[in-house]
Every structure is written in structure tokens, then in C-alpha cells.
Structure 1
Amino acid sequence: MHNQQIPTDGSNQHRDAAFQPDSGLLEALTPLQGNERIRHLLKCFGLRTSLVRLKVIDALLTAAGNDRRLGVRGMHSHLQALDIPLSFLSVREVLKRLCSEGVVVLNSDKSYSLHPQAEAVLVGQIEA
């Protein structure tokens, strides 16, 4: 009889039921990196993770790190330059949704930036 819980990739590895995670490893992973911290941010604000949201927030973080601000057109151009095939309308709608949920703010110069509360979540100061 075939057991569906056993991997069929030819591997005969068995997992020990008494496995205890290494607490040092967990502490090392505590500061979330890359997409994981963006996923955490979206979860804190009650939003699902999507590729478009990940890319838009990552672009905002990159722009902020370079002391730049991006509007919808700048965001779209930035993503196109990275070979990320998102339509202008998709980028605009994601930015509008992120604004309405309080993750992103629309500045007076029509550029977007992360809300201070979202920045605090990213650096681990608060849980939204």
C-alpha cells in the first residue's frame, strides 16, 4: 500500500518526531530579510501577499534608501527597468489599495512613501 506522506523522490530520509529547533538559529532569523519582512508587514496590516505588492513595496524601500521618491509613473518605470512585467494600471491600483490600508502614504508632490507605522513594523519596533 502506498503511503502518501512519505516522499516519493527516492529519498529514504526519516524525520525524528522529537526534533527540537535550535533556539540560536531562530534568534538569528528573527530580523526578517527581503521579502519575508514585506510579507510580515502585509500580514500585520491584514493584507494578502501578492507579487505586485511585494515588488511595489520593495521598490519604495529601494527608492527611500537612495533618497528618491516615486510616483506611479516612476514606480512603473522602475519596475519595467527590472524586467518586472506589470501594467501601469496594476501598479496604480496596488498603490491606491496600499494607501487605503495605511501601508503607504501619498505625498503632496504625488509621490508615495511608506507610512511611518509601516516603517516601524519593518524595523521591528511595533506590531501593527
Structure 2
Amino acid sequence: MFNSQLPTDGSNAPKSTSIGVDVFDQRTERHGNERIRLLLKSFGLRTSLIRLKVIDALLTAAESNRSLGVRGVHAHLLELDIPLSFLSVREVLKRLCSEGVIVLNEDKSYSLDPRAAAILQHH
């Protein structure tokens, strides 16, 4: 099975990785994501790291009056050192759309569904 964290060129793996510290074990980030966790729960969805990060990316873009498509969300996650494949990001976006959490706009960008935005505002 392929492990993206293992070196493929024969070199030694880095002594410390940012994944364990920066992504999975930040208490402040976990607390900040609590409203997204509640949003997912209200739509009957399980919480996963990729769902949290995808929704957070869309929220961050919306706060900056920007819109993101699949490539934009994927690029944002790569900038945060979150090693997810383009296909994984696309599938999560499709699932969130099918569940009504986000909507695909005419310009192929994604945004929160108005019902989801209302849930977030109440938390």
C-alpha cells in the first residue's frame, strides 16, 4: 500500500513531520472546528479531517470574498501541508453537495448552502 509520508527516492524520511503537530493535535484548532463538527452532525454526517478542512477552506475563502473550485480547495489544503489527493477532495466536495451542506455554483465554485450557513451562524 502506498504511504505518501514515506520517501520514494531512497532518501531518509524527515526527522519531524508537521502532520502530527500541525494538523492532528492542535487543541485550539479542534475547538475552532467545533461549529463545523456540529454542522456535519446536523446533516447526519460523520466528522472527518478532510470534511473539516474542506469546509474550513470554503469558509476562509468566503470571508475573503473569494470562491474556490475543486482545484482551489485542493491547492489550499496543500498549502496547509495536508497531503490529500485531488480525487479525494473532489469526492468530498461531491458528497457534501449531495448531502446539502454545500452547493456547486454556476462558475464551478463551491459555497455553503444557505441552510448550512444559518446553522453555523447560530453556533
Identity score, percent: 77
Alpha-carbon distance between aligned partners in 1 of 2:83 and 2:32, rounded to the nearest angstrom: 20
Alpha-carbon distance between aligned partners in 2 of 1:60 and 1:51, rounded to the nearest angstrom: 14
Larger radius of gyration: 1
- Select the residue among 39, 43, 46 that pairs with 2:44: 46
| Structure-2 residue corresponding to 1:108 | 106
Unaligned stretches of 5+ residues in structure 1: 1-32
- TM-score where L is the length of structure 2: 0.74
| Structure-2 residue corresponding to 1:122 | 120
How many residues end up aligned between the 2 structures? 93
| Structure-1 residue corresponding to 2:69 | 71
Partner SS for 2:106: coil
- Could you tell me which amino acid in structure 2 is paired with residue 56 of structure 1? V
Which residues of 2 match residues 3-18 of structure 1 at below 5 A? none
| Structure-2 residue corresponding to 1:58 | 56
Partner SS for 1:61: helix
- Could you tell me which amino acid in structure 1 is paired with residue 104 of structure 2? L
Partner SS for 1:113: strand
Cα-to-partner distance string for 1:92-128 (whole Å, 9 max, x where unaligned): 0000000000000000000000000000000118xxx
Q: CA deviation at 1:34?
A: 1.7
Which runs of 4 or more aligned residues in structure 1 lie more than 2 Å from their structure 2 counterparts after TM superposition? none
Q: Greater helix share, 1 or 2? A: 2
CA RMSD, Structure 1 to Structure 2 (Å): 1.0
- Could you tell me which amino acid in structure 1 is paired with residue 72 of structure 2? G
Unaligned stretches of 5+ residues in structure 2: 1-30
Partner SS for 1:105: strand
Partner SS for 2:122: coil
